[in-house]
Amino acid sequence: MSLLPVPTPVHASRADALTDFVVHAQLMLDPATPESARREAEPRLLAQLPTLQALGVFELFTIRDPALRALVHDELQAHRMRAA
């Protein structure tokens, strides 16, 4: 048995935000996903953007899908305008 402290992982809500974003992005991009599921996935995906932006995710990674990239870009721009 070790008495060494266990490193604390990334804050759970931040890690969950990234996981949630990726899961919902995959749903939205999958051609087999029904339109009703896409409509449910979009607001959940967009809700993660402020956390991911605060973490710097979008400075490190580029979204390859053009439509998803435009959606995220537009939503981040709208968020900046609301904050200003």
Residues 2-52: pLDDT tens digits? Answer: 455 544 454 555 669 999 999 999 999 999 999 999 999 999 999 999 999
Q: Tell me, yes or no, if the pTM score tops 0.75.
A: yes
* CA dihedral of residues 33, 26, 21, 23 (deg, nearest 10): 80
Distances 60 to 11, 19, 55 between C-alpha atoms, Å: 19, 16, 10
